[in-house]
Amino acid sequence: MRTIITLDDLRRHVIELWGGGEDGIVWKDEGCFTACHDKGTIEIPPITSEERYASAVHEIGHIRNGRPDIADNLPEDEIEALLITDERRAWDWARASSPIWTPAMDREAARSLRFYEVGPEEATYELMREFVDEFCATDGNCGAGIGDALIRYTVEFYSVGGPKEAQETRKWLIELIDKNLPRSAE
């Protein structure tokens, strides 16, 4: 018999992994999700998807694994290599600590690691290229879901910087909708 794991189950699991309470968890909808070693806190998204669950458990992994030992006087390429190693360790901890690891969670881990490996500009380009390739492969027969996916990708891409960027994204999307969506006869 299969066990069904819901998003509520995953949220409870995050709190359980953290230590049973929400002290030290800062729930935030946008911006960077981080582990703050100095404060012993994590800033994580509300658990509204498998990807957000994976990101939350990953941040707990950073705290559980401890602060990476990176000296300030190391060459930049060595610091980057150590940061990537720390990211991989946190993702490995997340996989090992989760009751389920789905393809969506695996894609989130790979996407996150890619930002560290090639830098945010190149990783963002790759994500957008992937979306465009998938969009073009539909031969125009993309159905209603493509608009939803496009908006989700766009919002995620532009809202990483915080509330100001999220507000600008909203304004930009509304302008594009007004410009490109035919208006019905009034």
SS3 25: strand
Q: Give me the torsion for CA of 46, 50, 55, 60, rounded to 10°.
A: 80
Q: Does the structure show a pLDDT above 90 at 42? A: yes
CATH code: domain of residue 110: 3.30.2010
What's the rounded Cα separation, in Å, for the pair 27 and 11?
Answer: 11
Lowest-confidence pick of 59-68, 122-131, 141-150: 141-150
pLDDT of residue 100: 93
Rounded Cα distance between 97 and 23, Å, is: 20
Q: How many residues are present in the chain?
A: 186
User: Mean pLDDT highest for which of 5-9, 127-131, 139-143, 164-168?
Assistant: 5-9
Contact 45, 10 (CB under 8 A): no
| Residue with more model confidence, 145 or 85 | 85
Higher pLDDT, 3 or 40: 40
Task: Check whether residue 89 and residue 153 sit in a common domain.
Answer: no
CA distance 150 to 153: 5
Residue 71: pLDDT band with limits 50, 70, 90: confident
What average pLDDT score do residues 36-56 get?
A: 91
H/E/C letters for each residue in 47-88? Answer: CCCHHHHHHHHHHHHHHHHCCCCCCCCCCHHHHHHHHHHHHH
Q: Which residue, of 67, 90, 118, is where some domain finishes?
A: 118
Answer yes or no: do 20 and 95 share one domain: yes
Secondary structure letter of residue 144 according to DSSP:
T
Q: Do both 127 and 181 map to the same domain?
A: yes
| End residue of a domain, out of 85, 103, 118 | 118
pLDDT tens digits, one per residue of 94-129: 999 999 999 999 988 998 888 888 876 677 767 777
- Confidence band of 186 (pLDDT split at 50, 70, 90): very low
Integer Cα distance of 142 and 68 in angstroms: 45
Q: Say what the pLDDT of residue 117 is.
A: 83
Question: Are residues 83 and 146 both part of a single domain?
Answer: no
Instruction: Say which residue, 63 or 76, is predicted with more confidence.
Output: 63
pLDDT range class, residue 140, cuts 50, 70, 90? low
Q: What CA–CA distances, in Å, run from 57 to 92, 107, 128?
A: 10, 15, 26
Q: Which domain holds residue 8?
A: 1-118
pLDDT digits (tens, 9 = 90+) for 150-159: 666 666 665 5
**% pLDDT > 70, the chain:** 67
Do residue 17 and residue 107 come from a single domain?
A: yes
Diameter over CA atoms, the chain: 67
The pTM of this model reads 0.70
**Residue whose C-alpha is closest to residue 61's, from 97, 25, 32:** 97
